[in-house]
Structure 1
Amino acid sequence: MNPKVSICIPTYNGVKFIAEAMDSAICQTYGNLEIIVSDDASIDGTLKIIETYKFKTSIPISVYHHEPNGIGANWNNCIKKAKGDYIKFLFQDDVLIPSCIEQMVNILEQNPKLGMVASKRKFIVEQDLTSDATKLWIEKYGDLQRGLHFKINKNVQIIDRSLFKSNEFLKPPIKNKIGEPSAVLFRKSITDIIGFYREDLKQILDYEFCYRLLKKQDIAIINENLVKFRLHHNQATNVNSHSNISDYKTYNRILLREYFWCLNANARKRLLKKEYKLINFLFKIKSKLHGK
């Protein structure tokens, strides 16, 4: 029997696109699946639509009601409820290509040293986000592995922890070199080693998790679009980017604390310089407040 894969769908008011996501889940060419839905108190018809799919497929569908506590908590609830050997996230507004899970599982089954596999992704751009700015975003973020120098063999690129020492790791404009959760599949057992997604983060928790994993095991990238990633006005990434979320400001501190000795010498110097400037600035503010 092929190992079980848990398709994890964290939801919140996803009525507009959830049917397309569910259709792509039940049409996978891979057979041994379960679908885990963790819902953050949706008030639209999301759960009603999901319930109809229990009559459209023999794939077990389990729906769990989750008390909202941030997106990371909902993602983690999916993982904790999952019974599969592998975790395959599918966000409510994204779509899986039919062979997505089959191809990803085959890669991991062939190489036990891999902890995660990701793929390239296509973009579905909704009309409310069609603009020159969106086109520019896709040009910058369309290929997350652009500029990396890991060899591609049989359409698969293996990324190891030497990524941290490369000049490309901290090179703008992109920090995520792996992929969004809908574009990755990983062994559930890795959470026993590295833990779950950080629930104190709102914007960078996906690739922070990937990099923690990469410190322990290699990651494969399939050089094929196996996921359709939707861009629209109300998606979490877009909403968070216009909020006061400070994840990006704390990213340097995460790197200093968790990855400092993994980085090359120039990157270490730049991080220390940035941190010194921040500490010096805060010290001056504190001195002014105390009249010193």
Structure 2
Amino acid sequence: MSQTYDNIEVVISDDSSIDDTLAIVKQFKKAANIPVHIYTHKPSGIGANWNNCIRKANGKYIKFLFQDDILLETCIEKMVNVLESNKKIGLVACKRGFLVNTSFNDEDTRNWINNYKDLQVNLNLRDLGDYQLLTKTVFRSNNFLKIPLNKIGEPSTYMFPESLVNKIGFFREDLKQVLDYEFCFRVLKVKHLAILNDELVKFRLHDNQATKTNRGNDGNDYKILDRLIYKEYFWLVNLKLKLRLLKQFNPYFKLLISLIRKLKKG
């Protein structure tokens, strides 16, 4: 309600909460001077809940805000301005700060923040003043699949046109841990991304956050992502990564390597 851009609606998709969530959001709706829509959603993964929000939304742009996080007052205005001013940009994100719960403020957390605070630090992006420009050339970077694998930010940090999902599809609901940057990879194939230099979102770190909970249940997410890159992005990545993917997924390449080794021994 404090956003400087006020032409917004709030869509809340509640995954059958068993705490005080619904009571809190009903109070918010009663106090709000903007449209607030509350939907109950049958839990089937975070991707399904995100997609439910998109399907229920009526606006031109989608801006996520997860229950743990905070938007600074100018966040939506600045993101809309970028998307309206450059049609080649399909998604705009921003730098983010951190709110660390006292019980979570230990050495491991501080080390994590040091390593993941600036996700674009090693990408040498073109800086256009208000934002840095991220294009599909990032797939050729030697840092593409190096930590941090997420080069954009958590979904609370970005905004995109609702029409984008008609072009690239919704979030994959079979992924638990990497679905957000897999989505951004698809955006990069058809549009540029802008990373605002301002910290416009505060990302909360605590013991019960969904990212931490899902980390031990991510199954084959990273194997799926590797295979997806092999199938969909092979010609965009650098030579070293091409060779690794060929060794990993191409039976003919594996056979060729085996024959070469036998010839060397013979």
Does the alignment reach a TM-score above 0.5? yes
Correspondence 1:68-217 to 2 at 5 A: 68-170=43-145, 172-217=146-191
Aligned counterparts of 2:50 and 2:77: Cα–Cα separation in 1? 22
RMSD between superposed Cα atoms in Å: 1.5
SS of match in other structure, 1:67: coil
- 2:227 corresponds to: 253
Larger RCO of the pair (alpha carbons < 8 Å, separation 6+): 2
**Aligned partner of 1:222: which letter?**
L
In structure 1, the partner of 2:237 is 263
Aligned mates of 1:176, 1:87 — CA distance in 2: 20
CA shift at 1:153, angstroms? 1.5
Q: After superposition, give the CA deviation of every residue in 1:186-224 in whole Å (9 maximum; x if it has no partner).
A: 011000000100000000000000110110100000011
Residues 1:66 and 2:41 are matched in the alignment: yes
Query: TM-score, normalised to structure 2's length?
Result: 0.92
Change beyond 3 A, Cα 1:192–1:244: closer
Pairing 1:12-51 to 2, within 5 Å after superposition: 26-51=1-26
Helix, strand or coil at the partner of 1:98: coil
Post-superposition offset of 1:271: 2.0
d(CA) in 2 for partners of 1:75, 1:267: 31
SS in 2 for 1:199: coil
What is the identity, as a one-letter code, of the residue corresponding to 1:177? K
Cα distance in 1, alignment partners of residues 220 and 210 from structure 2 = 15
- Deviating more after overlay: 146-155 vs 190-199: 146-155
Q: Letter of the aligned partner of 2:37 in structure 1?
A: S
1:225 corresponds to which letter in structure 2?
E
TM-score (norm 1): 0.84
Distance of 1:224 and 1:131 partners within structure 2: 26
Calculate percent identity across the aligned residue pairs. Answer: 51
Is the Cα–Cα contact under 8 Å of residues 176 and 217 in structure 2 kept in the other structure?
A: no
For these two proteins, the number of residue pairs brought into alignment is 253
Aligned mates of 1:179, 1:169 — CA distance in 2: 14
Q: Which blocks of at least 5 consecutive residues in structure 1 are unaligned?
A: 1-25, 281-292
CA distance in 1, matches of 2:64, 2:249: 34
Within 2, Cα distance between the matches of 1:259 and 1:276? 15
5+ unaligned residues in a row in structure 2: which ranges? 255-266
